[in-house]
Structure 1
């Protein structure tokens, strides 16, 4: 799905991958420098606290999430975002079922 040859992707043609209890994701687009991923959470599901070398920006498409970035916690709703710089601990707890859109730089090779 490296979009370097085809710059378009249609959400309806992309499949979900189960990645944890109540959590599934689909890779929307990527090249070597950038990746966008949609992650759907059921109420109560957890995106465990973790860190990685990638810079990450997360956009809340829907739902309510308690986000933690570098020990700071905030409740986020549709339209809100958070930024997790490289190697900073971060994670979420889903308080109301919803979808996050994650953008990574560089792309997450471990996702493909």
Structure 2
């Protein structure tokens, strides 16, 4: 799957957070997150392995009992079922990949946006 860049298609599942599924396959799914300064991503866990990369901004990421000061260019991998949360210190953009692909994040992609 190839998807053309678009400024449309963002959804808000949490306050002050926008997300957009970029592409997905049988085993992985990639999402862009736009995170607003001052927001909190509550502590949670899920059955997906989650690998991420911070494009811009500043966040404090808690994985298990460890806190990380995350800046652009930093990356992480959160194993499945491991509790994690984030505090957004500055407006931020992150790219994350989930494996297996999260069914709750699957979206229809228009023919204009995608080339198979």
Distance 1:66 1:18 in 2: 21
- Structure 2 gaps of 5+ residues are 107-116
2:76 counterpart of 1:82: yes
Q: Deviations over 1:62-107 (max 9, x none)?
A: 1000000011001100000111001000121100001111101100
Distance 2:8 2:45 in 1: 27
Q: What's the TM-score, normalizing by structure 1?
A: 0.89
- Corresponding residue for 1:33? 27
Q: How many residues align?
A: 106
Higher RCO, 1 or 2 (CA under 8 Å, sep at least 6)?
A: 2
- Corresponding residue for 1:108? 102
How far did 1:109 drift?
Answer: 0.8
> Cα 1:14–1:8, aligned 2, differ >3 Å: closer, same or farther?
farther
Q: Deviations over 1:34-69 (max 9, x none)?
A: 000001011011221111111111110110000000
Detail structure 1 runs of 4+ shifted over 2 Å in the superposition.
none
How far did 1:14 drift?
Answer: 4.4
Match of 2:92 among 89, 92, 98: 98
